[in-house]
Chains A and B, each alone.
Chain A
Amino acid sequence: NAGVTQTPKFQVLKTGQSMTLQCAQDMNHNSMYWYRQDPGMGLRLIYYSASEGTTDKGEVPNGYNVSRLNKREFSLRLESAAPSQTSVYFCASRGTGPTNEKLFFGSGTQLSVL
């Protein structure tokens, strides 16, 4: 059982380049989330998808787009990367039934924008 899988694990970009962070979960969860983690600031919600076919902005959506490709996959795209987007990005899915309060996190993508 892989849980939440993120790719890539590390990425270095130049300012202005674009890239897509991939996320997939195999737990049949409905809701998925993208967070960024910055030193001294905890994690902040970028975008989320409450169910397949829907997406909504979180606290810090500027500079990002998302796609809920199907129930399993939720990707995050940086169209024109900026140094301020240097961060660790985490994808998560929310449990259902008795675990509906619990987020299951991937292991993260460390992104550096030069």
Chain B
Amino acid sequence: GNSVTQMEGPVTLSEEAFLTINCTYTATGYPSLFWYVQYPGEGLQLLLKATKADDKGSNKGFEATYRKETTSFHLEKGSVQVSDSAVYFCALSQGGTSYGKLTFGQGTILTVHP
């Protein structure tokens, strides 16, 4: 079956530091890959996505590249802000009518200090 593994958290950084959150997956075929973010007290929001190998998703300064050879989709940001403090989830789906049937990683808590 499908599975997603994220790096252990929590992650604590100072403002303007570089961020990497690792994500690897196991899936058959060619899944679509997502990063969702959950701010305190809110539901999840789509941050970025990639639907085929070598695609790069980007949004709000965050980037992730779909690497099929390493089955990875690591999230990066060059300079984090306090407002980026949240829980980040890596997820996959098999696409088509299965887009909403996501397999999530366990989530990584990010705290950014001024």
Q: Kindly state the interface size class of chain A when it binds its partner.
A: 20 to 34
Beyond contacts A48-B101, A103-B100, A105-B45: 20 other A-B pairs, Cβ-Cβ < 8 A, are A40-B106, A42-B91, A42-B104, A42-B105, A43-B44, A43-B102, A43-B104, A44-B104, A90-B44, A94-B100, A101-B49, A101-B93, A102-B46, A103-B36, A103-B44, A103-B46, A103-B99, A103-B102, A105-B44, A108-B43
Distance, CA A77 to CA B93, complexed state (A): 26
Cβ–Cβ contact A107 & B107, under 8 A: no
**Which of chain A's residues 52-97 have a Cβ closer than 8 Å to chain B?**
58, 90, 92, 94
- The answer to whether A45 has its CB under 8 Å from any CB of chain B is yes
Q: Kindly state the interface size class of chain B when it binds its partner.
A: 20 to 34
Residues of B within 8 A of A90 (CB): 43-44
Task: Flag B86-114 by CB within 8 Å of A: 1 or 0 each.
Answer: 00010101010101111011110000000
